[in-house]
Each structure stands twice: as structure tokens, then as C-alpha cells.
């Protein structure tokens, strides 16, 4: 059971209701994470704004979902791992083998693997990546804007991982367990 209450949309803070309504319209449901973050309308608006902006960026939905899986597995966040496994299968249309590989920072595609390895280096080093790590991701074809977006995707996923790990959010997707916790 979640350690922080998860209100229904109807019982959410008034300022969060329009934001949660937009999530409902876009996804057809309001995930527990959104209802939980809705305790703070400012946090919910910030998360939704950054996530929405990154969806308009240079990185494909397939790469963004892979990054989310790698970061969730690294941080031991079963909620995010479950959500992004679901989104990876149903929205990004990733194969089961690519979903599993992404959790370890791997891919059948060399460029994608370079981005995932860089994302993991960002989180593991708290952003203090080496010159070699930056050179490797650039060599794989990622320009400066893409590098910034990889870092921003790591950051937004660390945010949700930490919120869910603190709250122990009830999972409302088919459950996937992080290797760290397995």
C-alpha cells in the first residue's frame, strides 16, 4: 500500500483537477503517479510541462522509453519500470527483447545503445560524466541538443523514480520488478 495517499481525481486538490483531466484525456486513464504528484499542483504542472516538452524534442519515443526503463531499473523503481514497460510495448512498439535489453542499457542498435550507456553514466555519476563518455555519445551521432535531451530525460525519470520510491506508489500497470529488487 502506498505510503502517501493517492486521491481519486474527484478528491484531488482543485488546482490539480484540470491537469489530471488533461492526463485522462490524453491517456484514457490517470495513473496513480499523476494523482500522487497532484498533491502539489506546482509539482504536477512542472512534471507534465517538462515531460510534454521533451515529447516534442529530437529524441524518438522509442529512445525516451528505453531511457526511462534503464533509469527505472537502475533506481529500483518498480512503478516506473512497470509503466514504461507498458508504454514501451503499447506506445513505442518496442519488442520484448528490446525492452529487456534497455533495462541494462543495451540495444540491438549501436546508436541507441550509446545513448542508453550515456544516460546510465549520467545517473551513476550524478552528471559528472567523463570526456570519453561525452565523446562516445557524440560519435554515435548525437548532437548537443540531443545530449541535453538525454540528460533532461534522465532527470525527469529520476524525479518520478524518487517520488515513487518514497511513496511506494501502488502499481496500476502490469507489474515488472527491477533487478535490484528481484
| Span 38-64, average pLDDT | 98
pTM, whole model, 2 decimals? 0.96
How far apart, in whole angstroms, are the C-alpha atoms of residue 41 and residue 18? Answer: 10
Which residues have CB under 8 Å from 147's CB, separation 6+?
Answer: 118, 134, 137, 138
- pLDDT value at position 153? 98
**What value does the mean pLDDT of the chain take?**
96
pLDDT at 181 over 60: no
- pLDDT value at position 179? 85
| Span 37-59, average pLDDT | 98
Q: Which of 159, 179, 160 is nearest to 104 (CA)?
A: 179
**Long-range contacts of residues 122-129, Cβ cutoff 8 Å, at least 24 apart:** 122/150, 122/151, 122/154, 123/71, 123/74, 123/75, 123/154, 123/158, 124/74, 127/151
Q: Could you give all domains of the chain from N- to C-terminal order, each with its CATH number?
A: 14-55 (no CATH), 61-167 (1.20.1290.10)
Amino acid at each position: 500500500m502506498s505510503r502517501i495517499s493517492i486521491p481519486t481525481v474527484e478528491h484531488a486538490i482543485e488546482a490539480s483537477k484540470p491537469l489530471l483531466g488533461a492526463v485522462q484525456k490524453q491517456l484514457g486513464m490517470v495513473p496513480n503517479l499523476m494523482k500522487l504528484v497532484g498533491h502539489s499542483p506546482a509539482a504536477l504542472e512542472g512534471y507534465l510541462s517538462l515531460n510534454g516538452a521533451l515529447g516534442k524534442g529530437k529524441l524518438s519515443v522509442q529512445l525516451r522509453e528505453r531511457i526511462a526503463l534503464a533509469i527505472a531499473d537502475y533506481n529500483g523503481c518498480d512503478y516506473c519500470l512497470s509503466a514504461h514497460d507498458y508504454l514501451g510495448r503499447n506506445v513505442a512498439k518496442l519488442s520484448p527483447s528490446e525492452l529487456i535489453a534497455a533495462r541494462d542499457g543495451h540495444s540491438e542498435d549501436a546508436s541507441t545503445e550509446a545513448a542508453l550507456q550515456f544516460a546510465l553514466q549520467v545517473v551513476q555519476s550524478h552528471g559528472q560524466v567523463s570526456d570519453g563518455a561525452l565523446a562516445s555519445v557524440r560519435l554515435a551521432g548525437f548532437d548537443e541538443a540531443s545530449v541535453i535531451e538525454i540528460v533532461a530525460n534522465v532527470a525527469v525519470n529520476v524525479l518520478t523514480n524518487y517520488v515513487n520510491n518514497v511513496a511506494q506508489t501502488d502499481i496500476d500497470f502490469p507489474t515488472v520488478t527491477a533487478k535490484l529488487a528481484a
